[in-house]
């Protein structure tokens, strides 16, 4: 079998790259180990930057998002019971974010690839990218017990932090950077009305809390917990009681509770590879970088990677121009590190760090007070939250 681009991973990054390439007349095959039902069911991010929304529209998968997704022109920070609204639209010249879950993005992309006859093989086991340090890369894998090989021009690794693509990249060419945080987020999805009309990021000495939503009848809440927490140790009543204790009183009093329909703990880490290109193997999304979810950047960074990579491949195929491919890693990582900075800053501001001395806690309070008092500080936050330019 032969194609122009083999894409490893059928998450949003891989599917979106395949769709954009297809619309430009470039063939690809997407390899995925898990079933479509499994990939679509993963509960992930839900805050989309305006540029990522436009990328989905360019890919022809923005109709449901535009119809059913919720535009948010602001977000809220709560600190020791004090509330501060950040006017995203007012501070950024009208730019906003949209609430539209990653599960919905993935569903739309799968349907679009199916409608266009896109090759998505969700039976791919033992995937190995090979020969990418030369001019004739290929990928071997097994499907239904049969060994297969696909020859190609390029390989795109969109298979996440634990995937084979990053593991296959030469370590001596890529200096990675990582920080693992001593806590995670215990997340609960419930069929309840959101406690607020916009997202609320809350600091309390008991730990961080986030009030988010997927719709007006589906809420997503998070609590900061120790990294080794077992979600089974948190029955629903305990979760709701702790959430109330971390929210400002006015919000806590209006919290609607109900049975959880999903509960899990996500670890927090910051991670970035030193290079996102290795010969004809290109990394994108979580295969290249991880950010704490505090800044809502994970899925959005995958989108910017796909933007840069799809444009570079299109220029190479249609103009024979290798410059965009040669500069892909530097361009993508420049935006990645700005988002790393913002995600780290939001995490440091809003979380209670174990063993922090009183000096550090006082600095957190001073940082929040600076935001309360300075429109310039709010503008910097708002510009980063709605998304830095591609």
Residues 136, 259: Cα–Cα separation, whole Å? 54
Q: Which of 12, 33, 72, 308 is catalytic?
A: 72
Catalytic pick from 297, 307, 308, 328? 297
Catalytic residue flag (residue 358)? no
Among residues 12, 181, 201, 351, the one annotated as catalytic is 201
Q: Of 33, 293, 307, 351, which is the active-site residue?
A: 293
Q: How many other CB atoms are there within 10 angstroms of residue 120's CB atom?
A: 21
| 3 state DSSP class of 371 | helix
Q: Helices (DSSP H) in the chain: which residue ranges?
A: 12-23, 36-41, 50-58, 63-68, 88-91, 102-115, 164-168, 236-246, 249-253, 298-319, 323-326, 328-350, 358-373, 375-386
Contact partners, residue 146, CB within 8 Å, separation at least 6: none
Pick the catalytic residue from 181, 203, 221, 385.
385
Q: What is the DSSP letter of 10?
A: -
Query: Is 385 among the residues known to form the active site?
Result: yes
Q: Among this protein's residues, is 390 annotated catalytic?
A: no
- For 280, which DSSP code? T
Q: Which two tokens stand for residue 114?
A: 């199916």
Burial of 376 (0-12, 13-18, 19+ CB in 10 A): exposed
Residues marked active site are found at: 72, 201, 293, 297, 385
């Amino acid at each position: 079998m032969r194609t122009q681009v083999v894409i490893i991973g059928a998450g949003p990054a891989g599917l979106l790259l395949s769709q954009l390439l297809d619309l430009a007349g470039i063939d690809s095959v997407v390899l995925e180990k898990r079933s479509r039902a499994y990939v679509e069911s993963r509960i992930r991010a839900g805050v989309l930057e305006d540029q990522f929304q436009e990328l989905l529209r360019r890919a022809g998968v923005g109709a449901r998002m535009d119809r059913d997704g919720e535009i948010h022109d602001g977000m809220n920070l709560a600190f020791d019971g004090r509330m501060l609204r950040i006017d995203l639209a007012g501070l950024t010249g009208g730019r906003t974010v949209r609430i539209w879950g990653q599960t919905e993005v993935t569903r739309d992309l799968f349907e679009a690839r199916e409608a266009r006859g896109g090759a998505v093989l969700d039976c791919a086991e033992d995937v190995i990218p090979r020969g990418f340090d030369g001019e004739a890369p290929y990928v071997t894998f097994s499907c239904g017990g049969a060994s297969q090989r696909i020859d190609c021009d390029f390989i795109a690794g969109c298979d996440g932090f634990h995937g084979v693509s990053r593991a296959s990249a030469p370590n001596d060419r890529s200096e990675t950077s990582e920080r693992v945080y001593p806590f995670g987020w215990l997340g609960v999805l419930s069929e309840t009305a959101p406690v607020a009309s916009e997202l609320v990021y809350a600091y309390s000495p008991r730990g961080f809390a986030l009030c988010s939503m997927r719709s007006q009848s589906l809420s997503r809440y998070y609590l900061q917990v120790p990294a080794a927490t077992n979600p089974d140790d948190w029955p629903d009543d305990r979760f709701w009681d702790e959430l109330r204790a971390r929210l400002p009183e006015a919000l806590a009093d209006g919290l609607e509770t109900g049975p959880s329909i999903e509960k899990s703990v996500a670890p927090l880490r910051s991670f970035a590879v030193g290079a996102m290109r290795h010969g004809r193997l290109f990394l994108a999304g979580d295969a290249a970088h991880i950010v704490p979810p505090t800044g809502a950047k994970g899925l959005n960074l995958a989108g910017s990677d796909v933007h840069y990579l799809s444009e570079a491949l299109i220029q190479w195929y249609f103009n024979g121009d290798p410059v965009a491919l040669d500069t892909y890693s530097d361009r993508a990582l420049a935006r990645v590190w700005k988002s790393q900075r913002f995600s780290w800053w939001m995490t440091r501001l809003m979380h209670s760090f174990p063993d922090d001395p009183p000096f550090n806690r006082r600095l957190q309070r001073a940082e929040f007070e600076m935001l309360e008092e300075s429109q310039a500080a709010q503008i910097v936050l708002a510009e980063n939250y709605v998304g830095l330019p591609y």
